[in-house]
Amino acid sequence: MIKKRALYSLLLATAASCTFAMKLPPNVDEERLRTLESELRCLVCQNQSLADSNASLAQDLRQQVVEQMAAGKTNTEIRDYLVARYGDFVLYKPPMKSVTILLWVGPFILLLLAAVVGLIVVRRRSRLPAAAEAMSSDLQQQGERLWQADAGASRKD
């Protein structure tokens, strides 16, 4: 029973790790195809290139790329077609334009913002002991006055 489960698990893992294989038309250069696929992002997986993804949408996109290559289109024409259809997100390196500027400078803005917040927190904490000490002496004097007033009131009773 355990051997059957192990065998089924091994077969399932092997089947899941198989990559999508398609028969390429004779006029499609495989190296050019792999290069273009590595420049395109899988829209489902997001952090995988089209070449690395096994998602069904990635297989469809690969098929579109192969069909366009077979039709004699250049890499630029294929990229432009995919961008027109799916947006700049399909490119691993989106172009710098007004729509994608946040993608390029956003991480640096967040890093700068985090540094400013960190600096403010550190400065406030460095001032805190002096302020707390001054406040504690004021509170101590006020407490002594209250203690003396309370002690004087209890003597009158």
pTM of this prediction exceeds 0.85? no
Would the pLDDT of 25 be above 90? Answer: no
Segment 37-72, tens digit of pLDDT: 888 988 888 678 888 888 888 888 888 988 888 888
Q: Which sign, positive or negative, has the C-alpha torsion 111, 115, 117, 121? A: positive
Does 116 share its domain with 73? no
Does 86 share its domain with 103? no
Q: How confident is the model at residue 15 (pLDDT cuts 50, 70, 90)?
A: very low
Does 154 share its domain with 135? yes
Does 78 share its domain with 109? no
Domain enclosing residue 76, as ranges: 1-93
User: How many structural domains does the chain have?
Assistant: 2
> CA–CA separation, 17 vs 90, rounded Å?
24
The CATH number assigned to the domain holding 43 equals 1.10.8.640
Torsion of CA 75, 77, 80, 82, to 10 degrees: -70
